[in-house]
Chains A and B, each alone.
Chain A
Amino acid sequence: MTGWVGRPITRFEDDALLRGAGHFTADLPAEAYLRFVRSPVAAGIIDGCIAPDGVMMITDTDLASVPPIKPIIRKFGYVPIAQPVLARGVVRYTGEPVAAVIGQTEEQAEDFADLVSLNITPAPVCVTAEAAMAPGAPVIHPGMADNIVVQTALTTPGYESANAKAAHRVVTKIRSHRQAALPMETRAAHAAFDAATGRVTLTCTAQMPHLMHRAITAMLGMAADELRVIAPDFGQKMSLAAEYVVLVWAALRLRTSIAWVEDRRDNLMASFHARDIAIEVEGAFDNEGRFLALRGDITANVGAYAPYPNTAAVEPLMSFTELPGPYDIGEYSCAARGVITNTCCSAPYRGVARPAITLAMERLLDMAAMQLGMEPAEIRRRNLIRIFPHTTPTGLVYDNAAYVETMEMALLAADVPGFRARQHAARARGVYLGLGMSSFCERTGYGSAAFAARGMDIQPGWEHVDMTLDGDGVVTARIGASPHGQGLRTTLAQIIADAVGVVPANVRVVHGDTDHTPFGWGTFASRSLVISGGASLIAARKIRERLLQQAASYLEAADADIDLRDGYASVTGTDRRVSIAVLAQVHGGFADDGFYDPLGTFSNATHIAMVAVDIETCMVRVERFIVAEDAGRLINPMIVDGQIHGGVAQGIANALLEEVIYDETGNILTISLADFLAPTAHEIPAMTILHRETIADATMTGAKGLGEGGTIGAPAAVLNAINDALAPLKVTINEMPATPARLHAALRGTK
């Protein structure tokens, strides 16, 4: 009895996208175009901002009644930060929007922006976390003297005594430099005023349209039904863009349609950044290489402001909570802080904090293995958690999984002995090959309880699905989540098709429109398939129950003898059947809903990278990449592999290429794609992907989230591989990206 779940069916999303008929925000024509005038300096006092005659300009004076963006966490010493949607008197990072001008075309709007006379008296800057925390550093936000926006610490009662028993102690410091999410589609928004209804329709790139709706109506004092938010697309767009608020304000004021399409320069300079994190870890091990205790110290440079809704606390707090990863580390002591600097704000980007903590843990384990004279795989075997559920020192509960078995799968595929032989032979020829592994577990699909634990004012978590089955036999699911390329229309259709008994082609998934979907939180934190899928399954099962009754009555059989499948209800063992469309017609259609708010589930994976390091040019080539992943039940294996491919590519980019660079004055140097280096097809090797399916009891569908895993595991695997390659030269590198310049410095340092 095979169903649709588990089959690699092709996507319903593809046809329109391949014909160039997909809907993207920037495609919409508008009566007027808006362009932002941005701060050319990282810190300063605005002395004046004057538009030439005849140019309509919006500044904070016009927006005096609009409250600032100010998300709140009520724990961890969090100091709320207010970000005016346009700078109010001071600027705090290069690229901060100071004013907006309006033209009839994008070209004209840019001409006008260039003509604006913006005078700023520069102020002292802090670009790095170290500088911002130094005694006497300039205070970036009033009332936050040390520039620390959030901090927390924990030492378990048994830490000191466990640590004292260590036979081996290993310390390492890792540094994850700043990265940008770099969606191929930049941010864009289009706000259209409808004079007949007085409503504004905001079409924008966003992952959480309902939350955008809630935030913008609140900030602009609009009634809920005065704004409709449509989010056809996504990317780097989980957080509220101040620019969108200005745009809706302008549409209301001008009673017209007005658009803003971010260009790549502004995207790299002033959209959200991520991953600017330094971590020191110290492992205390016994004689057999087993963890006795782990100490961590985490500093995240979170930029100048706090994005809504997540605040500036996500990276330091998530690092703090999830640092131990898939290992039984015994006792734990950790301190973490988020530091405000004169740089662009940091916001959640695929993987959020986990690429850095995984790098810290996996470097630590490789260094410990070397110190203990052990194979890297062996020390992991001794420390990976084997008994579930497992409660971590920070109170996370890991659900059923198979961490060791997943790692063994990856090792087998990698043929480590074969690699070691090749590596040995290559070294004789002066060629440095390396193999690196990394294991991690990833908290996914978590509901409101997890967000409540963070003390967030906004507590996302659940998802809601409205479902109908109409007389044409088509199921329509209206979801609050807002997919962006992961193929959720297809995977939800598979889940719903099995539950109701229709073919996936007869399932319509409506999303990304606040007029036509129930409230939902959106797409982030590897949650959409798990939570929206769970809610869909709940709704679909309710409809199924009623369909069964209707079919039993129609076919004069017992409920238990009815089989619902691919559009028909049939009586098992007979040729009596009726189409589900007819049943729906007879019944006048079916409607129900599903609400799902799970605790969360942990997926896990082991990544193995094989690299070649050219020690003359310091260039690294990733030659092979293996992923063994356990994300529970696979709804659509083709889509799963696609998610992993893309994640790993972004992880390799994080490890080797991509870096946002500021100079010491806070000027950003990486504002073009000739400077911020995204990988091409040449830099990404062919990947081997293997799956285990530990069915998650913790979720409705048995599936665990996996959208972010690729980005989490890949950087550490690549860095470990580079270190393995360079081990004969006694060179280590614990910074990413491991650029040629950094490798050169490391190699030269030993010569």
Chain B
Amino acid sequence: MKPCAFIYHRPSGLPEALALLAAHAPTGGRVLAGGQSLVPMMAYRMAQPSHLIDINHIATLQGAAMQNGALVIGTTTRHAAFKTGICPGPLGAMLGFVSSHIAHGPIRNRGTFGGSLANADPASEWCLVMVTLGGRVMLQHASGTRMVAAGDFFTGVMATALADDEMLTEAHLPWGQGDQWGFYEISRRAGDYALAMCLVVYRLDNGLMRDVRLGIGGAEATPRRLAAAEAILAGQAPTGPNFIQAADAAAAMLKPMTDHNVTALFRRDLVRAAVRRALHHSLNHE
């Protein structure tokens, strides 16, 4: 399980990195961020890049800051950076809680936010966060930049709108007025890939849920918001019966992935449980 040979590049600035990517992408060059998904794929020789452009030493790609109501996250910001609140308030708390579900400590010390998005694993927690909150990603190449909505970015299982010569350099995560959030993930063992997970964000207005965003991940090819479930909750009180109704709606509208571990029927039941529990979690973070 040794990777195939490749040529290593360690650019110190973004323009240099983009130039290298432009030069080598046509012949199998790739960006190396945290490497916690790419390197295992290389070990199994499922990925055989000819060139690796290591962006870990580009200082401007790391760290996060609030800009115009959105958290702008540099692509090589590591999962571990979210642990103790990367920003104040409920957004930082939510991101910290969600990050604790990503694999294990040593993986979180290396794996990056942008790397997770570009890898687009259906079970990625960050992909779910981006889609649920309506985030956008900045994609750059040697001659330009574009912003893409998260909902358009993820196109399938480990497939994105990213062109070969483009690099995901930033993620913009807006935080609306809601301060209620809940997250629940179901996996075989702690740190395993999610079999189903749900993130819900809303605000309470006189005891009624408003601006409800409810996303599921790990269950379909890409994470998505479930409008029908959101509609059931909007304007209602956060009560058990309403949660059950929303969970049932979510399960009903699912197009579940199946494999030897999880049948479609089981995945539906898992999503139902994840949605209901995420909603309950929004009321009690203990």
Which positions in A face B, CB cutoff 8 Å?
106-107, 110-111, 114, 263-265, 616-619, 657, 661, 663, 669, 672, 674, 677, 679-680, 682-683, 739-741, 744-745, 748
Contacts and interface: CB of A to CB of B under 8 A. Distances in A.
24 contacts: A107-B3, A111-B4, A111-B5, A264-B1, A616-B273, A617-B270, A619-B186, A657-B188, A661-B260, A669-B260, A672-B40, A672-B44, A674-B192, A674-B193, A677-B189, A677-B192, A680-B189, A683-B189, A740-B266, A741-B262, A744-B265, A744-B266, A745-B266, A748-B269
10 A-B pairs with the lowest CB-CB distances in the bound complex, closest first: A263-B1, A616-B273, A107-B2, A682-B190, A744-B266, A110-B2, A617-B186, A617-B273, A741-B261, A106-B2
A178 to B, nearest CB: 13
Contact of A679 (B45, B189, B260, B272): B189
B269 A616 contact: yes
A674 B192 CA distance: 8
A603 B270 CA distance: 43
B263 interface: yes
Contacts of B193: 674
Interface of B: 1-5, 40, 44-45, 186, 188-193, 195, 260-263, 265-266, 269-270, 272-273
A265 B44 contact: yes
Contacts of B2: 106-107, 110
B197 to A, nearest CB: 12
A32 to B, nearest CB: 15
A112 B204 CA distance: 63
Q: Output the residue of A106, A617, A619, A740 with the most chain B CB within 10 A.
A: A617
A679 B272 CA distance: 26
Nearest to A741: B261
Contacts of A263: 1
B190 to A, nearest CB: 4
A748 B270 CA distance: 13
Given A107-B5, A114-B45, A265-B44, A682 B266 contact: no
Contacts of B272: 616
A143 B195 CA distance: 46
Contacts of B266: 618, 740-741, 744-745, 748
Given A111-B5, A617-B273, A677 B188 contact: yes
Contacts of B269: 616, 744, 748
Contact of B263 (A661, A672, A741): A741
A592 B53 CA distance: 66
Nearest to B272: A616
Nearest to B104: A680
A680 B260 contact: no
Given A264-B1, A748-B269, 7 more contacts: A114-B45, A616-B269, A619-B186, A677-B189, A682-B189, A683-B189, A745-B263
B246 to A, nearest CB: 15
Nearest to B186: A617
Contacts of B261: 739-741
Contacts of B45: 110, 114
Contacts of B192: 674, 677
A739 B189 CA distance: 12
Contacts of A669: 260
A265 B4 contact: no
A616 B188 CA distance: 14
Contacts of A679: 189
Contacts of A745: 263, 266
A679 B192 CA distance: 11
A295 B260 CA distance: 34
Contacts of A617: 186, 270, 273
A748 B1 contact: no
A381 B285 CA distance: 47
A104 to B, nearest CB: 13
B190 A680 contact: yes
B18 to A, nearest CB: 30
Contacts of A618: 266
Nearest to A108: B2
A253 to B, nearest CB: 24
Nearest to A669: B260
A745 B269 CA distance: 11
- Which of B3, B40, B261, B263 neighbours the largest number of chain A CB atoms within 10 Å of its CB? B261
Contacts of B188: 619, 657, 677, 740
A746 to B, nearest CB: 11
Contacts of B4: 111
B273 A657 contact: no
A619 B273 CA distance: 12
A724 to B, nearest CB: 22
Contacts of B273: 616-617
A119 B190 CA distance: 42
Contacts of B270: 617
Given A265-B44, A616-B273, A748-B265, A680 B191 contact: yes
A616 B269 CA distance: 7
A111 B191 CA distance: 33
Contacts of B190: 680, 682
A265 to B, nearest CB: 6
B226 to A, nearest CB: 18
A365 to B, nearest CB: 30
B247 to A, nearest CB: 10
A682 to B, nearest CB: 4
A677 B192 CA distance: 9
Nearest to A743: B266
B258 to A, nearest CB: 10
Contacts of A106: 2
Contact of B1 (A265, A657, A682): A265
A111 B265 CA distance: 43
B34 to A, nearest CB: 17
A744 B188 CA distance: 13
Most buried by A among B2, B5, B195, B265: B2
A674 to B, nearest CB: 7
Nearest to A681: B190
B122 to A, nearest CB: 14
Nearest to A680: B189
Contacts of B260: 661, 663, 669
A467 B190 CA distance: 50
A517 B263 CA distance: 55
With most chain B CB atoms within 10 A of its CB, the pick from A106, A618, A663 is: A618
Nearest to A266: B1
Nearest to A671: B44
Nearest to A661: B260
Nearest to B48: A114
A663 B260 CA distance: 9
A697 to B, nearest CB: 45
Contacts of B1: 110, 263-265
A745 B186 CA distance: 17
A739 B263 CA distance: 12
A182 to B, nearest CB: 14
A663 B259 CA distance: 11
A621 to B, nearest CB: 11
